[in-house]
Amino acid sequence: MSKYAKGLIEGFYEKTLEDYGVRDFLVASLVGLDGVSSNQLRGSLKEKGIRLLVVKNALFVRALKRLKMDSAAELFVGPCAIVFGGESVVDVAKELVEWQKKLPALQLKGAYLDGTVLDPKQAAGLAKMPTLKELKGQVAGSILAAIGSVAAASVGPGSAVAGAVKGLVDKLEKQAA
């Protein structure tokens, strides 16, 4: 491959990572998948906003170095594809782990998350974490529970005072009559 062609491919990788704002991704091996399975996988991921890009390792590592993500270079040994997108890397991990059940040839090689390289077990462990939506729901639930507790605490003394005032009013009405 000519130096010019390699430069174009490196530029494409770099531009793709920048355009999609990729800071976290999983690395997978598709060796052993037939064309139909690969297309089904890609189509299913695309519906969920997840992209799968098979890369030429040396050229992709150079693009990573330019983007200051060069610690991920150790993941790129043998045939590799990067998988990114969705709401978070957890969504991507959940999808790939689910697809591994259907396509045993699909293998996770690791992940790059917040500047840290994860091994295959750690990358698969991301699938067990709550998604961004689930975390937002948990935070909202906690806030609502706290607000409910504060409201209940403030209503309790107020109703006691109101009951005492009503009792005093009733007593004074009886005395006046």
Helix 89-102 crosses helix 35-47 at what angle (to 10 degrees)? 150
**pLDDT per residue as tens digits for the range 73-101:** 999 999 999 999 988 899 999 999 999 99
Res 130: pLDDT: 75
- As to burial, measured by CB atoms within 10 angstroms (0-12 exposed, 13-18 middle, 19+ buried), residue 125 is middle
Under 8 Å between Cβ of 89 and 26? yes
Res 35: pLDDT: 92
* H-helix segments, 67-131: 89-102, 120-125
Whether residue 38 has pLDDT greater than 70: yes
Q: What pTM, to 2 d.p., does this model score?
A: 0.73
Under 8 Å between Cβ of 87 and 133? yes
* Interval 58-87 mean pLDDT: 94
